[in-house]
Amino acid sequence: MSAETAINVVGGGAWGTALANAAAGAGHPVTLWLRDAQAAAALQAGRENPRYLPGVPLHPGIRATADADTLAGARATLLVVPAQTVRGVLEALRDPLATAGPVILCAKGIERGSDSFMSAVAAEILPPRTPVAVLSGPSFAADVARGLPTAVTLAAADPGLAASLSGLLSGPSFRLYHTDDVRGVEIGGAGKNVLAIACGIVAGRGLGESARAALIARAFAELMRFARAFGGRAETLMGLSGLGDLVLTASSPQSRNFAFGQRLGAGASPEAAAGGKLAEGAFTAAALAGLAAAKGVEMPVAEAVAAIVAGTAGVDDVVAGLLARPLRGETD
Ligand SMILES: NC(=O)c1ccc[n+]([C@@H]2O[C@H](COP(=O)([O-])OP(=O)(O)OC[C@H]3O[C@@H](n4cnc5c(N)ncnc54)[C@H](O)[C@@H]3O)[C@@H](O)[C@H]2O)c1
Ligand SMILES: O=P(O)(O)OC[C@H](O)CO
């Protein structure tokens, strides 16, 4: 395989493995990089990722490796690690990634501590000439890895780059729409994870389907308020990466964020509810609520999730507080 034709995927979890399968299915040789040499060798030999994506064969066009030097010279790099690790991974791989094409950020979250969006983290670390894009939208890894129909959004500040990367990565059942609204797309992906936890809490507490539908609508209203204040476009939020992903994540126990919320609603502590699985919204909740508060954006649902996850409020008190809020015009 020539490095110039390869697509890199950094991160061998559920989403990294699924995106590697999608890129290989679109006809590209794929280098799938894992930090752990033993795990990379097992994936390369076994052609399956039993921990994160059991039962899904790895496409023959994928080479799994832990050798960072093999990343250099690629056509594009998909960065698919949890949001809170993006800074460290970019720092560690800065040299090979400097010649590995545009870096496409696939994590959905806001960095704790700095309250930074992923594109801002990347801009701090990568050389200025490295283009950065964001991929986000309604997409369960198991669906994409199995080749079930899926549509997501790819955003880059340069509309030409967004269009060409969408064409590069689209395949028979994986469709990428494109936009230049990077901030709007990352707000949708990060925000929906927090709000989906709230919907899981409602389900776990047995508050009913009507309450869940109302919560999705009110959660979306606050996500729109946040996007308006932070430079995302309303039409982006109404698309795949905003409303599309909120609806998917807030209505399916297949979502780790929803399932985490369900366990909280059923009475588990935040530590027990996590159960060793990644629920990105738990890490992003405080950053989202903090950013909103600093700009005077009302986000009662995100604030409630942040308080429950931090253990400073209980589910029943939070629900009572939300129901006691003053009545207001629906679009105020
Ligand atoms: N799973 C999905 O369906 C899905 C879909 C869309 C987006 N995402 C997003 O993709 C991101 C990754 O999610 P995932 O589902 O792959 O998570 P995961 O828990 O399945 O896998 C995470 C992977 O990252 C690796 N990793 C963790 N820290 C690392 C580090 N410091 N250096 C290198 N590798 C490291 C882990 O070893 C693991 O292989 C999240 O932000 C998630 O919101 C996931
Ligand atoms: O399992 P979740 O909650 O991380 O959701 C996965 C994807 O983000 C859904 O689009």
CB atoms within 10 A of CB 42: 17
Domain ranges, ordered by start, for the chain: 7-180, 184-324
Looking at the CA of residue 137, tell me the nearest atom of ligand 1. 6
Cβ burial of 229 (10 Å; 0-12, 13-18, 19+) is middle
Beta bridge partners of 174: 150
Provide the token pair at 29.
């040789």
Looking at the CA of residue 137, tell me the nearest atom of ligand 2. 10
Q: Kindly identify the ligand whose nearest atom is closest to the C-alpha of 80.
A: 1
Closest among 135, 139, 138 to 107, alpha carbons compared: 135
Confidence of residue 20 (pLDDT cuts 50, 70, 90): very high
Q: Compute the distance from residue 13 Cα to the ligand 1 centre, in Å.
A: 5
Mark out the alpha helices in 231-328 (DSSP H runs).
234-237, 245-249, 256-265, 270-274, 280-294, 300-310, 315-323
Q: Compute the distance from residue 329 Cα to the ligand 2 centre, in Å.
A: 32
What pTM value is reported for the model? 0.97
Catalytic residue among 59, 192, 233, 263: 192
* Cβ atoms of 166 and 178 closer than 8 Å: yes
79 CB-near residues (< 8 Å, 6+ apart): 10, 11, 86, 89, 90, 103, 104, 105, 106, 107, 122
267 CB-near residues (< 8 Å, 6+ apart): 315
Residue 319: per-residue pLDDT = 87
Residue 93: per-residue pLDDT = 98
- The response to whether 108 counts as a known ligand-binding position is yes
Cβ of 97 less than 6 Å from ligand 1:
no
Residue 3: per-residue pLDDT = 60
Mean pLDDT score, 286-298: 97
Q: Compute the distance from residue 250 Cα to the ligand 2 centre, in Å.
A: 9
Is a pLDDT exceeding 90 seen at residue 156? yes
Is a pLDDT exceeding 60 seen at residue 28? yes
Cβ of 106 less than 6 Å from ligand 1:
yes
Amino acid at 60: P
pLDDT, mean over the chain: 96
Beta bridge partners of 31: 8, 63
Ligand 1, atom 11, residue with closest C-alpha: 107
Residue 4: per-residue pLDDT = 66
Is a pLDDT exceeding 70 seen at residue 2? no
CA angle 279, 286, 117 (to 5 degrees): 80
Beta bridge partners of 64: 32
Looking at the CA of residue 36, tell me the nearest atom of ligand 1. 37
pLDDT tens digits along 38-86: 999 999 999 999 999 999 999 999 999 999 999 999 999 999 999 999 9
Cβ of 104 less than 6 Å from ligand 1:
no
Cβ of 49 less than 6 Å from ligand 1:
no
Amino acid at 163: A
In CATH terms, is domain 184-324 a member of 1.10.1040.10? yes
Q: Kindly identify the ligand whose nearest atom is closest to the C-alpha of 143.
A: 1
Identify the sign of the CA torsion 189, 195, 199, 205. positive
- The response to whether 295 counts as a known ligand-binding position is no
Ligand 2, atom 5, residue with closest C-alpha: 255
Q: Compute the distance from residue 11 Cα to the ligand 1 centre, in Å.
A: 6
- The response to whether 11 counts as a known ligand-binding position is yes
Mean pLDDT score, 95-109: 97
pLDDT tens digits along 246-288: 999 999 999 999 999 999 999 999 999 998 899 999 999 999 9
Provide the token pair at 58.
């790895």
Is a pLDDT exceeding 90 seen at residue 162? yes
* Cβ atoms of 19 and 87 closer than 8 Å: no
235 CB-near residues (< 8 Å, 6+ apart): none
DSSP string, 33-47: E-S-HHHHHHHHHHS
Q: Compute the distance from residue 53 Cα to the ligand 1 centre, in Å.
A: 12
What is d(CA 322, CA 116) in angstroms, rounded to the nearest whole number?
28
Please give all residues whose beta carbon lies within 6 A of any atom in ligand 2, as ranges: 108, 138-140, 193, 245, 248-249, 255-257, 280
Confidence of residue 1 (pLDDT cuts 50, 70, 90): low
Confidence of residue 131 (pLDDT cuts 50, 70, 90): very high
Q: Kindly identify the ligand whose nearest atom is closest to the C-alpha of 254.
A: 2
CB atoms within 10 A of CB 167: 12
Cβ of 258 less than 6 Å from ligand 1:
no
Predicted ipTM > 0.90: yes
User: Tokens 């008190």, residue?
Assistant: 317
**CATH number of the domain at 7-180, please?**
3.40.50.720
Active-site residue flag, 192: yes
Q: Kindly identify the ligand whose nearest atom is closest to the C-alpha of 249.
A: 2
- The response to whether 241 counts as a known ligand-binding position is no
Amino acid at 180: D
